[in-house]
Structure 1
Amino acid sequence: MDPTLAFPLLVGLIGVALFFDFLNGLHDAANSIATIVSTRVLRPQYAVFWAAFFNFIAFMFFGLHVAETIGRGIVSA
């Protein structure tokens, strides 16, 4: 493959993957918020804050196991 085409293609594929991951995360957050709001456990404003807070700090409690597996276990250097 032509090197002048390979790098932009690689960057584009990584961009598409990150965009998909972002959208997938939005869907997961929306599902969890909808469940909490529909059962009237929390008001919508509190549910959004709750989801955002725990999505942001989750790595502190659960670590970076998925990222480490991809970095070490699947892709060989």
Structure 2
Amino acid sequence: MKALFKVLLCTACLLAGSAYAAVSRDDASALAQKKTNGGRVMSVEKFVEGDKNLWRVKVLTGTGEVRAVFVDEATGKVY
């Protein structure tokens, strides 16, 4: 019985962990740098638009342009 409880508890922890799998601040920075061909990250902030939690990453591009790149915290999709 104890073994079954441990298995169920471990399974519940794994499922809960995957539900909260989110893109971290560092992941968002890396994705924004990739999107801007290696730009320099100036700031990273959480941003909410409707029902989506986004990271707003301000990047200084190689041409001197400041771009705001948005990264969906749940999916990693870059806008």
Same fold (TM over 0.5): no
Could you tell me the TM-score, scaled by structure 1's length?
A: 0.37
Could you tell me the TM-score, scaled by structure 2's length?
A: 0.36
> Which of the pair is proportionally richer in helix?
1
Q: Which has the higher contact order (CA 8 A, sep 6+)?
A: 2
